[in-house]
């Protein structure tokens, strides 16, 4: 079970690093760059896949961690 947690952790780190620069968009709010603040941009294609994969791996990570804690 620890090996599964290690593999999920590495995959989660890799997937998060592949995501586009959403943090830079959040930084523009602080610095005053509000041209993209109220735009509703739908994720499509690869970005949607990466986002869903991040959510799934996060849930799997949480469940495995909880199982190992209870065990």
Rounded-to-integer distance, Cα 63 and Cα 31, Å? 38
> Number of folded domains in the chain?
1
For 7-62, the pLDDT digits (tens) are 999 999 999 998 876 655 555 556 655 555 556 667 678 888 998 999 999 999 99
Residue 15 forms part of a structural domain:
yes
Residue 58 forms part of a structural domain:
yes
Residue 63 forms part of a structural domain:
yes
User: What residues make up the domain containing 18?
Assistant: 2-31+43-70
Rounded-to-integer distance, Cα 21 and Cα 41, Å? 14
Q: What is the pTM of this model?
A: 0.70
Residue 66 forms part of a structural domain:
yes
SS3 (DSSP) at 32: coil
Residue 51 forms part of a structural domain:
yes
pLDDT for 5 equals 95
Residue 36 forms part of a structural domain:
no
Rounded-to-integer distance, Cα 44 and Cα 56, Å? 17
């Amino acid at each position: 079970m620890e090996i599964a947690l290690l593999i999920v952790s590495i995959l989660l780190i890799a997937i998060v690093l592949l995501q586009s620069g959403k943090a830079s968009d959040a930084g523009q709010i602080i610095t005053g760059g509000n041209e993209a603040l109220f735009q509703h941009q739908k994720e499509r294609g690869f970005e949607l896949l990466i986002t869903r994969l991040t959510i799934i791996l996060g849930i799997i990570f949480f469940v495995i961690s909880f199982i190992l804690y209870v065990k």
